Amino acid sequence: MKELKRTADLRLIGGSILVAIVFVTLTTSILSTAVDHWIRHDARIETTVLAQTLQERLPQLEALIGGSFPSGPDAAALQLIQSLGRASHATLATPEGEPVLILTDGQVLAASGQEGRIQAGAAGAPYTRVETVKENGAASVVAVTAMILQDHGRPVGMLETRIDETALADSFHQDLLIASIILASVLGLAFAIGYSWLTAAVRSRNASEERAEFLASHDGLTGLLNRGAFQVKLDAALARMSPNEAIALHHLDIDRFKRINDDLGEEGADKLIRLAALRLRDQVRPCDILARLGGDELVIAQCGIAHPAQAKAFAHRLAERLSEPYALEGREIRISVSIGCSLAPHHARQAQDLVVKAGMALQFIKATGQRGFGIFRETMQEELLGRRDLEGLVRSALRKGLFSLQFQPIMSLPHGRICGFEALLRLTSEAGTPVSPELFIPVAEELGLLPETGEWVLNKACETAAGWPDGISVAVNLSPSQFAAGGLPRQVQAALTASGLAPERLELEITEGILLKDTDAILQQLTELKALGVTIVMDDFGTGYSSLSYLWRFPFDKLKIDRSFMEAYSHSGETIQQILKAIVALGRALKMQVTIEGIETVFHARAVKDLAIDNLQGYLFGKPMADVEIPNAMLKDFMKTMNAPADAAPAARMQTPAGQKTGAG
């Protein structure tokens, strides 16, 4: 296309030069013709004047032409008349054109008979011819004019004049040359302006066409390939792919982009996408294919890989590069991305199918809250449909009364009796099928339903516990989203007031992860909660983060050791024992009660019996149950169990895992 346009431009330039040559040639020809015309015109006028003068001054002119040589006065008159004009030479001839008298250089001479006949124009009109005479190396322009002399329409003779028109010709040439130069300049300027305009128009058109061609295959915001061009190039790459290589298609988008767009505005979000696209350009190889599908969705075809692990490593590099801070609007912006991947030829051999499956993998990992990176698998569609059904169930659970609470006993080791219960949220489908907390609680968190659900759990737990004997507490888990929503102290106060439950019988459990963000605001709410008289428990202690750094900033009432320690006890009992001793000692030093979860078997109970732990929780003392199932004396045989023979411990072990807790209770 560019070659065609270049050829067209060359043709335009060549045509312009040809037009200029033709113009110069025509101008020269017109100039020469114009000069000849004016010379003839001047010579005819001069000859006509001379003829009129002769006829007026010499009544006997016809006789002189008839053959009588002029007398002295007539000759003098002829000489005078000839000298008054510009003709350097004049010949009088008979009507037939035979020369009779010659007037030259002030003399009147008789014709010698050697002169040629004079020929006038048709119908008596003057006839002029222009001759160029060279004499002594100089050229002169001579106009020779012949005309018939008439007396009342009757021919009486002929007159031929020779007039030197060199000066006039030079003057005409000069004037016409100046006029031609001016005209040529004007025309040249007009042509230059026209040519410049035409050239600019052509270039503008070419630029517009090139821009249109570019936009037809590229994204206007980032300059990357668009969807159509990407699929064409990907199909070509798939066709070239050798049997021992693969292509990984990475479909990525920015997490929580709508929130970012609302925060930065449309212009700021566009800048962010452009910057992200530039970073991706730096990460791809010449053989890879990078494109923008729209919005915050970008795709990269990673060509020529030998193993899926290369795709995963590449995706991690992309995620790390894109997660580095961006300087926008005077702020530092951080983002994360999710990447779905499909592989050719394993998942598809056509570009369209490969894009669809990578998009499905992206949709799946975002819908399931996994984030990060995921490779397509055939079951994703079915799992995604199940996920959507679960989301619908969770959304309607409160409205339809599908949520319920179960309570797991907490045993006071020093007293050998139940001291409280932990409230655990449960969900049942409309068909009556239980749904695992591991499935529905993350969904509720992602849907933003935990603040509302958590408030329901709090109210329901307090209402239920208010009917228990005094001294039996209820523990409710609080989620990060409840703290983020704010208003927890008000909700707790309202629940206590509505149920009549004594504040000291309500335990609020939080995980150390809650304190990682906006710590001051969280600690402020915890301070207000403790002022209500409730018990604050740090749950899942020892699982990570930096629990110790918070123990001195906020006076927790209890520590709850995570169940993972007891799960690992059978493999690393001695090490676990030392860790548990240290945690208990820490709790004692900080005047906190210590509870340990995961006591599933008698073996577990005996292992911690001598650690001076305050409370135990696990399946050994009871599974989570509905409030109506809680017996009045369910632990009356607990001490007998603790004193069972050691060889009975292995047989009494139970491998059933404890029910998962939820931040919503």
Tens digits of per-residue pLDDT, 335-348?
Answer: 999 999 999 999 99
Per residue in 273-294, pLDDT (tens digit) is 999 999 999 999 999 999 999 9
- The pLDDT of residue 3: 58
Q: Where are the domains of the chain?
A: 20-172, 227-378, 403-648
Angle subtended by helix axes 519-531 and 488-499, to nearest 10: 20
- Output the average pLDDT for the chain: 83
Q: How many CA atoms, within 13 angstroms, populate the side-chain half-sphere of residue 369?
A: 14
- Using 50, 70 and 90 to split pLDDT, how confident is the model at 140? confident
Where does residue 379 rank: exposed (0-12), middle (13-18), buried (19+ CB within 10 A)? exposed
Instruction: Compute the distance between CA of residue 144 and CA of residue 161 in angstroms, rounded to an integer.
Output: 6
Residue 95 has pLDDT above 70, yes or no: yes
The whole-angstrom separation of Cα 407 and Cα 413 is 19
Q: Does domain 20-172 have CATH number 3.30.450?
A: yes
Q: Which residue has the higher pLDDT, 400 or 637?
A: 400
Query: Which secondary structure element, helix H or strand E, spans residue 393, and what is its range?
Result: helix 380-400
Instruction: Note if the pTM is more than 0.75.
Output: no
- Buried b / exposed e over 107-133, threshold 16 CB at 10 Å, is ebeeeeeeeeebebeeeeebbbebeee
Whether residue 552 has pLDDT greater than 80: no
Would you say how long the chain is, in residues? 665
3-state secondary structure of 481: helix
CATH of domain 403-648: 3.20.20.450
**Domain spanning 227-378, CATH architecture:** 2-Layer Sandwich (3.30)
Asked if residue 514 lies in contact with residue 460, where contact means CB atoms within 8 angstroms, the answer is no
* Model pLDDT for residues 44-66, shown as the tens digit of each residue: 777 777 777 777 777 777 777 77
State the residue for tokens 């009975």.
648
Non-local (6+) Cβ contacts of 405 within 8 A are: 423, 424, 425, 426, 457, 460, 461, 464, 626, 627, 665
**Cβ contact 338:319 at 8 Å:** no
Kindly indicate the confidence band of residue 159, based on its pLDDT and cuts at 50, 70 and 90.
confident
What pLDDT sits at residue 16?
A: 65
